[in-house]
């Protein structure tokens, strides 16, 4: 099972980090970054399969492709933003973390504008 590998990797990294954090905080930040990247790379094949299935389902249901693409993009942006924010919080940089968070939120709203406009137009066309 892959989950055991990931949890054990997490525990090993945790032990190394507690040793390293007191003496060499810069290295500890980089190590936690690397651990995050490796864990993501481990779940990457499964994630890709899930996205593939969702893509097929969306195509079968005859949904407009742009809505599904936008949703996928929003999930990706949210993940990357969260990655950066947690890294900044680990290094006690709350200010930078909140800036990255605001940037992510604004980009997500920007991407979802077409959906909001389409919804509004549908509502307006229903209203007498």
User: Rule CB under 8 A: is residue 42 a binding residue for other proteins?
Assistant: yes
Encoding tokens for residue 95?
């200010």
Binding mask 12-31 for other proteins (x = CB under 8 A): xx--x--xx--xx-xxx-xx
Q: Closest separation between CB of residue 92 and other proteins, Å? A: 17
How many CB atoms neighbour CB 43 within 10 A? 13
User: Rule CB under 8 A: is residue 41 a binding residue for other proteins?
Assistant: yes
Q: Which residues, numbered 64-103, are part of the site for other proteins (CB under 8 A)?
A: 69, 72-73, 75-77, 79-80
Q: What is the largest CA-CA distance in the chain?
A: 70
Q: Which is nearer to other proteins, 38 or 120 (CB)?
A: 38
Q: Closest separation between CB of residue 122 and other proteins, Å? A: 25
Q: Which is nearer to other proteins, 80 or 120 (CB)?
A: 80
Q: Which is nearer to other proteins, 89 or 111 (CB)?
A: 111
Residues 6+ apart with CB under 8 A from 58: 65, 68
Q: Closest separation between CB of residue 5 and other proteins, Å? A: 9
62 neighbors 54 (Cβ within 8 angstroms): no
User: Given the structure tokens 């968070």, which residue do they identify?
Assistant: 101
CA–CA separation, 20 and 13 (whole Å): 10
Encoding tokens for residue 34?
């690397």
Q: Closest separation between CB of residue 9 and other proteins, Å? A: 6
């Amino acid at each position: 099972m892959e989950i055991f590998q990931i949890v054990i990797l997490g525990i090993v990294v945790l032990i190394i980090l507690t040793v390293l954090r007191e003496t060499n905080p810069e290295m500890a930040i980089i190590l936690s970054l690397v651990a995050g990247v490796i864990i993501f790379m481990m779940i990457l094949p499964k994630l890709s399969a899930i996205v593939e299935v969702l893509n097929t389902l969306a195509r079968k249901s005859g949904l407009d492709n742009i809505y599904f693409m936008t949703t996928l993009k929003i999930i990706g942006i949210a993940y990357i933003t969260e990655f950066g924010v947690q890294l900044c919080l680990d290094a006690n940089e709350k200010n930078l973390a909140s800036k990255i968070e605001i940037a992510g939120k604004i980009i997500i709203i920007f991407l979802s504008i077409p959906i909001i406009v389409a919804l509004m137009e549908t509502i307006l066309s229903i209203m007498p």
